[in-house]
Structure 1
Amino acid sequence: MSVPIRSRTRPRARRRAPRELRDLMTTIGLANGVANIIMQLSLPPVGHGVSESRVQSGSPRRYPLKRARTTGQYLALSVLGSDEDRDAMRAAVAEVHKEVYSRADSPVRYSGNSRELQVWVAMCLFKYYLDQYTFIYGPLDDATLDTLTKAAEPLATGVNVQAAEWPQTWAEFCARWDAMLPELSIDPVVHREFETLSDLTFVGEAWGTIGYALAKVPGPVYRFMTRATLPPEFRDLMGWDWSAADQRRFDRVLAVLRWVDPVINPFAMQLFYRLYVADFRLRRRLGLPVLGSLKVSATPIRDGGGLRRLARRAAS
């Protein structure tokens, strides 16, 4: 597997060669989050595990801002946190994942604490960082990718994965990635959830009419960027087309970002991560649950479990 820059526009001169995950952070990271979620959830046990989840307290469809915070904190601790931070987050995530498991009527077997599934999710998260960098600064050589593969280990060990289970070289990562691709598919129910994530209308499930109204302006733009940053093989799984006109439009976006990104990076993007780490440590110091109070519904979230008051009011 290679890490190409999917653009015809010549990349600007890059920053110094990246050595850590923080060096891969760019402004595109603000727009390719759902694309990466689609990659993660295209593995059926992961996709159905999320789709059938009853953990309302961790659902973006019930608490979108909280979910954005906790996901951001997990990434921030992987990039900038201490071993103590990561141990605390690992324990909190494992507690939540205990509530994610397949039932008798589930189409596939899964467990939220499955190491095999968590390695795949961590591999996708590594791609999240690689993709946002290569779009703007171009492809990386194998020696640099070997260094970054090792640096990405906390993305996996931050959950229920041992260090030895993470690929130790770029070649090993590519081999494992390619071996997983034939296993990928998207169920129609999961596909529908991806659609509402990509255009931000999922916020309406939490906030009702207000949420749907807020999604109207950024939604189409975010959907385009999701399609643009999703690798072609995953775009095909979604049944999304990609025309020459789409590519030209994306090239124009990248041309602007290649001028903007060096100005605001690396300090601006890393500032968000530092704030996430500071918030996480403050919550621990105050004795607060770092992921918030655990709330589990008897009904899957997709079927209306844990529906919030604003959304119920909008539906009535």
Structure 2
Amino acid sequence: MKRVRLGKTDMYVNAIGLGCMGLTHASGLPTPKEEAVEILRKAHDMGYDFYDTAECYTGVNPDGSTAYNEEVVGEAVKPFRKDIILCTKFGVKHMGDHLEFDSSPETIRKSLEGSLKKLQTDYVDIYYQHRIDPKVEPEVVAGVMKELIEEGKIKAWGISETNEEYLRRAHAVCPVTVIENRYSMMARWHENLMPVCKELGITYVAFSPLANGALTGAYQSKKAFGSGEQDFRPDMPQYSEEGIKKTNELLEVVSQIGEKHHATNAQMSLAWMINKYDFIIPIPGSRKLDRLQSNFEAGNVELGQEEVKTIDDKLNTMEFKVFGGH
């Protein structure tokens, strides 16, 4: 599997990373901690070496206690901490029906100390601003990141759901190593950032690369999610009757190409982007080991540029309504 360089650093990872959010947040009741730790350790055995979490990825356990994603990840990676790239994020609080943003210098430092404790480590490889805080200028955030790098508390930093202006202004103060924005076949509104990333030498980390599971083709109705307790997906527009119909139309084209490569729809969705750009890392996640293995093996699927173009041509005739944007 090809290795992807993180920005202009000396850090390299496999082409498929691991999004850890769903173990505790937004995908149903949290996975019991011991089980979640085992899943993440087995993922490392498969070859995953890029682990993505965040301060705000929490859920509520059946006993009413809080399930902290960072605690699960920190416990899991202890045996191989030095062998992976560990990423977490600051600046977002989930407040029921909305998010609150706080990227003040004081909050950044307080958040990092809390994350280091939960992750059981003394440094973070990549520290992300989780969302742009309209109250704080990018130069201020970048200045704090520069200090944290100099102090050895983080190796590099990134911005999640950034735009070009914010990215350039921040990058001018302290070089940004990665951005983490939503990107999938069904969510392409950030493609204008690809030339910017290439120009500045920034790696693009794609979250929700399977459109919250829609591109697997596995969910053909809202009933597939069971009770839906602590699960955000049933209310997403891609799982409306119209959304599922559109997704299936796209997957007809994807699966035809996939058959030639003995690749699933999910694998094709990941292979499509890593064969299109050499500076992108999708971070799918799952609680199921077979899906984790299948997702990782997508990094070995080699698509020809004509095959990528066939998919793009189909996408250019379609408009999707998905969670998080258009």
Q: TM-score, normalised by structure 2?
A: 0.30
- Greater relative contact order, per chain length (Cα 8 Å cut-off, separation 6+): 1
* Greater share of residues in helix: 1
